[in-house]
Structure 1
Amino acid sequence: MISIVVPTLGRPSVAALLDALTGQVGELPDVEILLVDDRRDDTGELAVPGALTAYTKVLTGRGAGPAAARNLGWRAARAPWVVFLDDDVVPAPDWCRRLRDDLAVPATVGGVQGRVEVPPPAGRRPTDWERGTAGLAEGAWITADMAYRRAALVAVGGFDERFPRAYREDAELAHRVRLTGWELVRGRRRVAHPVRPEDRWVSLRTQRGNADDALLRRLYGRRWRSDLGLPPGRRPRHVAVTAAGALALAGAALGARLRPGTPARRALRLATGTAALAWAAGTAELARARIAPGPRTADEVATMLVTSALIPPVAVVHWVRGWWRTRRVPAGAVVAADRPGARS
């Protein structure tokens, strides 16, 4: 038996996912689909295709984020294998057949990841947002399509619900699963992950994930990125650029109060100018790194210039917010089997 868990906010994309499963779910032996409705508002029942109603059970989440929704799903699951799918992926026509093959693994394997394919834009270079989504294709153990043995989930207590977003919670779970001795491998089944439309400010909203990075730093120490197999980030540069900008603004404000021509004002102007140059150089480097591989349209360039000036301070603010929120979390206080869920 196989349990498929799909947490959803009721986005239109979930209909495409369910439609893709409709014609092939019968290829799986004794399958169940657990659709976790994690909407915070009561906007009616989720629509389930008629061909799937015999397989599907809708669970009501509490709107606490994907980690909590997935925990609700797998704890209600009856199968020894639990497959997590995001509600914005589209399984390939042979997904069920390949899933069955993927799960025929040795008993030492606790999880099998599917392959995520992000369709590129036609006839142009991808935007900054599209490149970020395309990075999912290289992500390790992401729950866009990830199967775990239920025994492995029980052994580690499931997802850490202190992660309120779809960010890092899957990598953190995979790390704990491997620490308990399970192996994780990649399978051959495929899902497509279309790029959802977003406005020009999406790069600022994604900086909220820095608060979750602060929690990982608290749980796993300074080496959390390498321990979890995550790529290096830009936080040191964001901190430096933000500090330079703050010093330049503070220097300009203070200089306006000093008498012209005094040695103190000249020294302050020099320091302020140096800080301003450092801020401009750091901002230009970030903008160039984001503009160069993109379509370079006027709209995209304008968006990159504005958001590249805002991203460093926004990222630092969210990191500090996360540090403050988790300051009383005991170092190393990860979720464990004897205390399921998570505690703030």
Structure 2
Amino acid sequence: MDLTVCICTHNRPRYVQDCLDGLRRQTVARDRFTVLLVDSASGEAAAAELGSLAAAHDARLIRLDHVGVSLARNAGAWAARTRFIAYIDDDAIPATDWVESILNAIAQPGRPPALIGGRILPKWEAPLPAWWPPSLRGVLSIIEHEGRGEYRTPAVPQGLEPYAANMVVHVLSLLAAGGFGGAVGRYGNSLLSDEEVQLAWTLQDAGHSVRYDSRIVVHHQIQARRMEPSWLLSRMYWQGASTVLTRRLLHQPQTVWRELPRRLLVAGLLAPAALIPEHTAFLLAARWRFAYAAGFIRAALGWHVTEAAIEQAAVAVAA
């Protein structure tokens, strides 16, 4: 067995079905890779359906009692029995040569990779609205750049970051770095983010090769419910908070304090736009900037972001 493929999910068996079907169509033999399905505290009905899917697709099923994507990904890493683990989101469908491209990338001569981020192309459930800001396609977990190279170097575009919707990690390096930090990342339906960014930069700062390779492709099913102004505003609010938390986890608190005055200025100037109803796209450019600044400011000034995400997830489960 050359590779472990890990799918982490919470209450989404329909998407898992599509992902597993994609893995069944790979160009390499099934004995070249194994599949781990990590169920992050799904409800009873979804858990039963996930169990049936795992059995039908020869996937090993791991059940967790608590929600949290970082917890689930770490459980996958501890269960892996291969040198590398490939993470794919439950709503992503791998290209037919996905596993083959991963195996080729990790086998190429030269400096061995600790982490490889791949290309993530959109598969729209609903058309992208005309009002959607072009600069924010990335918050939908879309990466369309073609090329290869080390992150945070001139070889790839500035600001390009890995997403765990399509990411390969050297297992021992991941575990030695402490895994995915439980302080960041999704908890249920909360929009806390950046757990993969924290891991990637931790590995790179420790001297490991952390690179991008667009030959490794998945197709991300972009949910129709995300095509709403209210979702984008919530996503940007949590992203502002996630940025603060990630910088502190990477031991860069000074960058938070340097940026805080600018975020305070933005929030002050754009505060009237926040009075506009969430469902409308009117003045959205001002409103998403205000949302990001508000999340950043609140987290910088002491908001317990992780606890809020966990509480939000618990309320959703109880409902």
- Give the TM-score normalised by structure 2: 0.71
Q: Deviations over 1:84-118 (max 9, x none)?
A: 11111111122222222122134532122221112
In structure 2, the residue matched to 1:85 is 88
Q: Deviations over 1:64-97 (max 9, x none)?
A: 3211110011111111111111111111122222
In structure 2, the residue matched to 1:202 is 231
8 Å contact kept, 2:116–2:168: yes
8 Å contact kept, 1:214–1:326: no
The aligned runs of 1:67-82 (5 Å cut-off) are: 67-82=70-85
In structure 1, the residue matched to 2:248 is 218
Q: Identity of counterpart residues, as a percentage? A: 23
8 Å contact kept, 2:36–2:61: yes
SS state at 2:174 partner? helix
The aligned runs of 1:100-119 (5 Å cut-off) are: 100-105=103-108, 106=110, 108-119=112-123
Q: Which structure's residues are more often strand, by fraction?
A: 2
**What is the number of equivalent residue pairs in this alignment?**
269
Q: Which runs of 5+ in 1 are unaligned?
A: 226-232, 245-277, 288-298, 328-344
The aligned runs of 1:263-278 (5 Å cut-off) are: none
* Residue from 206, 216, 222 that aligns with 1:180: 206
In structure 1, the residue matched to 2:281 is 303
Shift of 1:10: 2.9
Q: Deviations over 1:239-279 (max 9, x none)?
A: 224335xxxxxxxxxxxxxxxxxxxxxxxxxxxxxxxxx75
Shift of 1:201: 1.1
The aligned runs of 1:1-344 (5 Å cut-off) are: 1-11=2-12, 12-24=14-26, 27=29, 29-43=31-45, 44-45=47-48, 46=50, 47-48=52-53, 52-53=57-58, 56-105=59-108, 106=110, 108-119=112-123, 126-128=130-132, 131=137, 132-133=139-140, 135-137=142-144, 139-165=160-186, 167-187=193-213, 188-198=215-225, 199-206=228-235, 207-219=237-249, 220-222=251-253, 238-244=263-269, 283=273, 302-305=280-283, 308-309=286-287, 312=290, 315-316=293-294, 319-321=297-299, 323-325=301-303
User: Matches of 1:134 and 1:159 in 2, distance apart?
Assistant: 18
User: Matches of 1:300 and 1:325 in 2, distance apart?
Assistant: 23
Pair 1:204–1:52, CA change in 2 (3 A): same
Pair 1:37–1:224, CA change in 2 (3 A): farther
AA matched with 1:145:
N
Pair 1:158–1:68, CA change in 2 (3 A): same
Shift of 1:313: 5.8
Pair 1:279–1:30, CA change in 2 (3 A): closer
Shift of 1:34: 1.0
User: Matches of 1:25 and 1:60 in 2, distance apart?
Assistant: 29
- Give the TM-score normalised by structure 1: 0.66
Pair 1:320–1:68, CA change in 2 (3 A): same
SS state at 1:24 partner? coil
Shift of 1:142: 1.6
User: Matches of 1:146 and 1:313 in 2, distance apart?
Assistant: 28
SS state at 2:224 partner? coil
User: Matches of 1:41 and 1:318 in 2, distance apart?
Assistant: 33
| Larger Rg computed on CA atoms | 1
8 Å contact kept, 2:27–2:96: no
User: Matches of 1:38 and 1:124 in 2, distance apart?
Assistant: 29
Pair 1:104–1:127, CA change in 2 (3 A): farther
Q: Which runs of 5+ in 2 are unaligned?
A: 146-159, 187-191, 306-319
Q: Deviations over 1:273-327 (max 9, x none)?
A: xxxxx756xx49xx9xxxxxxxxxxx99932437944862674256424642469
Q: Deviations over 1:8-59 (max 9, x none)?
A: 1132222111111112275254422111111353333214166522xx1111
